[in-house]
Chains A and B, each alone.
Chain A
Amino acid sequence: MLLRYVIRNLARHPLRATLTILAMSIIILAFGLLRTTVASWYADSLGTPPDRLRTRHAVSISFQLPVIYQQRIASVPGVAGISYANWFGGRWKDGKAFFPRYAVEPVSYLELHPEIQLSPSQREAFLRDRRACIVGRKLADKLGWDVGDIVRLQGSLYPGDWEFTIRGIYSTTSPTTDEGSLYLHWVAIDEQRRIEDRDRAGTVGWFVIRMANPEQAAQISEAIDRTFTNSMAETRTETEQAFRANMATMSGAVIRAIEIMSFLILGISLLIVANAMAMTVRERHHEYGILKTLGFRASHLGFLIFGESVCLALFGGILGVVLTYPASKGFGMFLTSNFGGFFATFELPVQLPVLVILISVGIGLLGAVIPFFLCLRSRIRDELRHVG
């Protein structure tokens, strides 16, 4: 019955309650997206084994390196294996379903990435066919692809309409490596460049290097970069984790800023709820006086005030989470297509709803603290004089 009272109190100012709930839900939505950005950032940079290095253009990842660097890098002492890759970019269908697409040198790439697991026959088929691609199990399931299907892509970095036959579906052994990418033959797309865009032909986005001894990462990186000092394209070599975490456009500091912001906006939501509750409690001054004359004690009034506040925050929080799911699709697509490999995956953490519910309850409780004490402090005789 007291709960019913709480709910009816909520409905007394439908506009105010609606606005508060909406404000709360928008903040929770922003919070969810920011948290997911941070989480997928870390998931990406943590998921790689430490025996690999990456060499990229010293200026930025968006500059390319000549593929002929391969031999010189391979001859650096300590380098046990080398491969190279580039973004393919482009769009699939309307661009709504995004997945990372890499153009790689397939033999060495698969050798250097044992976590990408393919059956021997599929591997064979992929290597034999230059117009072939392999896709991750999760991606294939999501888009309903099977071996033998043709993926049509509209090129961006490599213009034109492209068709690749799926020759294999890979799974991965590491839980943090995604099963959501597509790999195709670098030569297939470079061939076309050689005809249509000679200046940019023969370039790659980055080299992947396996070290004989991972403890020598620093020395090997330095030796590689030294090889290309004062050349046309200087290089920067780092471990894969560092490669992801220190990207020029989005450094770790930006991520930390996002992290801080995600908590700052929770502070705003707290103020919004507290403000709504302060107004409410002030208006009900007289009513709380009546309840006190009936023998209502602090605990009962607390139930009414905290209950209403928690309901407000919780409804907003739940609505926010519900909105986060569709919104994350669009936001994730924006991120993954604009910041490609920085965010290979963009998935809401499974614990997000629980986290949001806890946070909302916390905000509701905190928001009602001051209004509650205002209510307790005032005396019955003053509260009752308001009307009389």
Chain B
Amino acid sequence: MATSIIDIQKVSHSYFRDDIEIPVLKQLTLNIEPASFVALLGPSGSGKTTILNLMAGFDRPMHGRISINQINVSQLSERQLARWRAKAIGFIFQFYNLIPVLTAAENVELPLLLTSLSRAQRAKHVATALRLVGLGDRMTHYPRQLSGGQEQRVAIARAIVMDPAILLADEPTGNLDSEAAEEIMILLQRLNAEQGKTIVLVTHDLEAAQRATTICKLQKGRLV
């Protein structure tokens, strides 16, 4: 499948606790097309976070191959991985994971600091990203001065500010009330439709999953 942007081939992965192997993913194969919006559903402990972490290169699969944009992620060195990740992947977490001592704008600016952009160019990108998520007026607010939904939108702005082709979101609405959750889902949908971002969304929320173009169900390390 040459057209897929994310190509997971027969990936198996286990964790070890006190030398006991805990198999999590079993021979998992998954192809994701460019510009698609995939929701990954599954019970707790089924390995959803694990597969997302492998895609982002936070961890290496024990068996099998993960290619993203034709790049075999498992073969990159830590250093290459970090460089590649900064450009190719935007990650959104359940707990926003903003840096508390930095303002919204500074949080969004973080990934840009690794580039050679000038201060003015960075400021422009930050403003664009924050406006896109509807927080153009909250630039100088600190995370503790924002609501949960707003924090998550800052996190999304941070994930898209480098303009990556892929967004990986691990239960981004898991910590929000339904209204805020819906706003986040609409935002993701827009990013997918208007900007052509490939989105992989892990969620428990069936309703949220309906906004995706494809739904995959994971059970005990296998797709069903």
Contacts and interface: CB of A to CB of B under 8 A. Distances in A.
Given A8-B101, A9-B101, A380 B95 contact: no
B140 interface: no
Interface string A15-42: 0000000000000000000000000000
Contact of B82 (A1, A2, A5, A295): A295
Contacts of B58: 292-293, 379-381, 384
A1 B109 contact: yes
Contacts of B208: none
A381 B82 contact: no
A381 B102 CA distance: 23
B59 A294 contact: no
Interface in B118-152: 119
B114 A387 contact: no
B102 A295 contact: no
A297 B106 contact: no
Find the residue from A293, A296, A297 having the highest chain B CB count within 10 A: A293
B17 interface: no
B99 A287 contact: yes
B53 A295 contact: no
A205 to B, nearest CB: 64
B53 A381 contact: yes
A300 B83 CA distance: 12
Contacts of B119: 1
Interface string A273-296: 000000000000011001111111
State the majority secondary structure of interface residues on A.
helix
B85 interface: yes
A289 to B, nearest CB: 8
B95 A293 contact: no
A120 interface: no
B114 A388 contact: no
B95 A388 contact: yes
Contact of B114 (A8, A9, A295, A384): A295
Contact of A5 (B94, B101, B158): B101
A286 B96 CA distance: 12
Given A293-B91, A295-B82, A381 B101 contact: no
A294 B87 CA distance: 9
A300 B115 CA distance: 12
A286 B99 CA distance: 10
B56 interface: yes
A104 B58 CA distance: 82
Given A1-B106, A381-B58, A296 B97 contact: no
Given A1-B109, A5-B101, A388-B93, A297 B79 contact: yes
A72 interface: no
Nearest to B49: A388
A1 B113 contact: yes
A1 B108 CA distance: 12
Find the residue from B94, B109, B110 having the highest chain A CB count within 10 A: B110
A293 B56 contact: yes
Contacts of A11: 101
Interface string A290-321: 11111111101000000000000000000000
Nearest to B84: A295
Contact of B113 (A2, A8, A292, A387): A2
Nearest to B54: A381
Contact of B110 (A8, A9, A291, A384): A291
A232 B192 CA distance: 106
A297 B101 contact: no
A128 interface: no
Contacts of B187: none
A258 B97 CA distance: 51
B83 A297 contact: yes
B102 A5 contact: yes
Given A381-B58, A388-B49, 16 more contacts: A2-B113, A4-B106, A292-B82, A293-B91, A294-B111, A295-B83, A295-B85, A296-B82, A297-B79, A297-B82, A297-B114, A298-B79, A300-B113, A379-B58, A380-B53, A381-B59
23 contacts: A1-B113, A1-B119, A4-B106, A5-B101, A5-B102, A5-B106, A11-B101, A287-B99, A290-B99, A292-B58, A293-B56, A294-B91, A294-B111, A294-B158, A295-B83, A296-B82, A296-B114, A297-B79, A298-B79, A379-B58, A381-B53, A388-B94, A388-B95
The 8 A-B residue pairs whose C-beta atoms are closest, nearest first, are A295-B86, A8-B101, A380-B58, A297-B82, A290-B97, A294-B111, A381-B59, A381-B58
Interface of A: 1-2, 4-5, 8-9, 11-12, 286-287, 290-298, 300, 379-381, 384, 387-388
